[in-house]
Amino acid sequence: MAIRLSPETEKLIEQRLKDSDCATHDELVRRALEALDEVEGPYVEDLDAQTQVAITEGLAQADRGETRPWSELREKLKARFVK
């Protein structure tokens, strides 16, 4: 498969290849795609109905500005799950 990249993208790839422990361009691209899969996680459609509803409700709350600072939430989670 032939892939055409912009000069800017080629430069980024070459720099990442130098800075990484990847031996080839193929390995670098494969690792980048694997990392993207980890970041994106499962598709919402693949999750159970209860989890889908919880995500939808959470996004709606965020859209309405019903959020809390991370420091507050972190402390609540620590108190609940870290013994």
pLDDT digits (tens, 9 = 90+) for 6-57: 999 999 999 999 999 999 999 999 999 988 877 776 677 788 899 989 989 9
pLDDT of residue 79: 92
pLDDT of residue 16: 93
pTM value is: 0.48
The tokens for 64 are 């309405």
The tokens for 76 are 């609540």
**Alpha helices of 1-83 — where are they, by DSSP H?**
7-19, 25-40, 49-63, 70-81
